[in-house]
């Protein structure tokens, strides 16, 4: 095929995707950067106001800081727990047990279910009266609190709900574990290393790239949480984010600013702050990844 035909075919075949890239990613990205410097309520045209959206967010918007706090607490608590669960189950599944495919399926399944449905199921389970959890607690003589309507318990409940789905990091851990060379364990065994020493000195360093990958993906995913938070409020028939902003995640706050209050400029500024943090994490990933992670020789 000559060069001109190749170029023509390239644009014919990749053209739609590249057009989509321009129309659905590049343009809106730049437009939202512009809007983040504007006051914009959809009805009237955007009006340039400089950095005022950013200043308002960082200096005087209580909802902004509430949502930052919720998101950070969620990330700090949920991510280590879910990665520990994912690694724990992956270690079990990496043992020579029968029906490994079946077990993997059972642990993976909750992660792919629609969150609107699974959150509804959990909101019912966590009902104070007649909820499954409080009934099980009552069997043990414990009177459970009003989980979902308590400002103290709402966020822990959301964290518990999200811990149901750790299938993605689990499968990636499992792949990492299966790539660890068997000879390393054999050698350590001959040298008399116990199970903990083998885990600490062989498994962990060998799978550090996948740990790091899961960590980075987990942080980025946690910063973007939306469906979970929205469904948690809506499944109680309430405005999402409550009670008392206890579950006002960053992504939810942004959505409400944009599509409930039509503060589109402010929401764009929030989106760009989020994007900046994600870019920073990605950059750190490349910079620090090499130093902390053992990539083999």
| DSSP three-state, residue 83 | helix
Which residue, 1 or 143, has its beta carbon nearer to another protein? 1
Distance CA 128, CA 144 (A): 7
CB of 158 to another protein, least distance (A): 15
Question: To the nearest whole angstrom, how small is the minimum distance from the Cβ of residue 141 to another protein?
Answer: 15
Contacts 24+ apart (CB under 8 A), 15-22: none
CB of 163 to another protein, least distance (A): 10
Q: Are 223 and 278 in contact (CB under 8 A)?
A: yes
User: Quick one: 245 or 265, whose CB is closer to another protein?
Assistant: 265
In angstroms, give the least distance from the CB of 7 to another protein.
Answer: 6
Shortest separation between residue 271's beta carbon and another protein, angstroms: 4
Nearer to another protein, 153 or 253 (CB): 253
Write out the two tokens for 261. 């209050």
Give the other-Cβ count within 10 Å of 264's Cβ.
20
CB-nearer residue toward another protein: 155 or 207: 207
- Closer residue to another protein (CB): 86 or 155: 86
Cα–Cα distance, 138 to 142 (Å, whole number): 5
- Contact criterion met (CB below 8 Å) for 158 and 232: yes
Cβ-contact 198, 185 below 8 angstroms:
yes
């Amino acid at each position: 095929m000559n060069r001109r035909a190749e170029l023509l075919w390239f644009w014919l075949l990749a053209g739609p995707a590249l057009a989509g890239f321009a129309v659905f990613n590049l343009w809106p990205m730049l437009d939202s950067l512009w809007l983040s410097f504007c006051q914009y309520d959809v009805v009237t045209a955007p009006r340039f106001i400089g950095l005022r959206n950013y200043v308002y967010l960082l200096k005087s918007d209580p909802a902004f800081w509430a949502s930052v706090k919720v998101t950070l607490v969620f990330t700090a608590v949920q991510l280590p727990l879910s990665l520990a669960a994912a690694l724990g189950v992956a270690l079990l599944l990496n043992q020579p047990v029968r029906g490994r495919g079946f077990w993997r399926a059972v642990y993976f399944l909750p992660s792919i279910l629609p969150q609107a449905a699974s959150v509804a199921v959990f909101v019912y389970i966590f009902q104070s009266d007649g909820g499954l959890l409080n009934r099980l607690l009552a069997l043990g003589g414990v009177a459970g609190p009003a989980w979902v309507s308590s400002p103290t318990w709402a966020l822990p409940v959301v964290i518990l709900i999200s811990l149901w789905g750790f299938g993605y990091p689990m499968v990636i851990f499992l792949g990492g574990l299966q790539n660890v060379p068997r000879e390393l364990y054999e050698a350590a065994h001959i040298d008399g290393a116990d199970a903990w020493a083998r885990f600490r000195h062989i498994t962990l360093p060998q799978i550090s790239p996948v740990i790091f990958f899961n960590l980075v993906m987990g942080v980025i995913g946690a910063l973007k949480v939306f469906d979970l938070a929205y469904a948690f409020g809506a499944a109680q028939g309430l405005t999402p984010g409550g009670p008392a902003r206890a579950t006002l995640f960053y992504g939810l706050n942004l959505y409400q600013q944009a599509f409930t209050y039509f503060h589109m400029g402010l929401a764009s500024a929030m989106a760009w702050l989020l994007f900046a943090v994600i870019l920073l994490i990605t950059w750190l990933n490349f910079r620090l990844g090499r130093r902390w992670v053992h990539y083999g020789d």
